[in-house]
Copies of this chain bind each other. A is one copy, B any other.
Amino acid sequence: MNSVTPIDAIRTTTTESLLGMLTLRPMSGYDLRQLMESATSNFWSESFGQIYPALKKLADEGLAEVDTQQPNGERLRKVYKLTPAGRARARQWLASPCAQQVPREELLLKLFFGDKAPRGSMRAAVERRKAKVEADLARYAEIAKDIDSKLPTHAGAPYWRMTLNFGIAQANAVLTWCDQTLAELDSIETKHKSGGRHAA
């Protein structure tokens, strides 16, 4: 009864993500993987083990057409292209509300038991996270340059920018949190050393 998910929500799974990707242009399974890896990997990616069966299913359901290419001895390539039905399904999915997900944050789960954790382990965990977001931010700066260089020419560019901005905003927030948290952890340590068993 307390299911909050609206009825018109379409669950987003491999099928839907491929439908979305194929709105951009016809692609093979390999192309799709590459595009996800390079463009959406910080918020979505799929493995080959999911992509190939899903593409076949798409074709079986009449949502995509396969164009098997192998001109004069070249490599076999199966290029999938959305049918009108597939395009309609994609638009339907895009318009449907997102299901709310509770992403699991392993770091926070551990931190929740910080009081019972080995000395210094929480500090180390937060520092690893900090290093990761710093690396992410550097990577995002590169991607930003890339997108901005083609901003006027691609109709999709402003949208790619939005997804990137999300990553940047989130990473900056986490970075600030890491610094605050490290300081806090240090002050807890200090209290332990000077004051004995109980924090004051």
Q: Which residues of chain A have a CB within 8 Å of any CB of chain B?
A: 12, 17, 20-21, 23-24, 39-45, 90-91, 93-95, 97-118, 121-122, 124-125, 128-129, 132, 152, 155-156, 158-160, 162-163, 165-166, 169-170, 172-174, 176-177, 180-181, 184, 188, 198-200
Partner of A129 from the list B93, B98, B104, B173 (CB cut-off 8 Å) is B98
B113 touching A94, Cβ below 8 Å: yes
Knowing A44-B104, A177-B169, say if A117 contacts B129 (CB, 8 Å).
no
B43 touching A12, Cβ below 8 Å: no
Closest residue of B by beta carbon distance from A45: B102
B155 touching A17, Cβ below 8 Å: no
With a cutoff of 8 Å between Cβ atoms, the chain B residues found around residue A109 in the complex are 12, 17, 20, 40, 43-44
Knowing A44-B108, A132-B100, A200-B152, say if A23 contacts B181 (CB, 8 Å).
no
B112 touching A125, Cβ below 8 Å: no
CB distance from A25 to the nearest CB of B (A): 11
Knowing A170-B173, A200-B152, say if A113 contacts B163 (CB, 8 Å).
no
Identify whether the interface residues of A are mostly helix, strand, loop, or mixed.
helix
How many copies of the shown chain assemble into the complex? 2
Q: Measured between alpha carbons, how far is A118 from B166 in the docked complex, in Å?
A: 21
Closest residue of B by beta carbon distance from A12: B106
Among A114, A125, A156, chain B packs the most CB atoms within 10 A around the CB of A114
With a cutoff of 8 Å between Cβ atoms, the chain B residues found around residue A162 in the complex are 111, 114, 181, 184
Q: Measured between alpha carbons, how far is A140 from B23 in the docked complex, in Å?
A: 39
A103 touching B103, Cβ below 8 Å: yes
Q: Measured between alpha carbons, how far is A174 from B40 in the docked complex, in Å?
A: 18
A158 touching B12, Cβ below 8 Å: no
B155 touching A166, Cβ below 8 Å: no
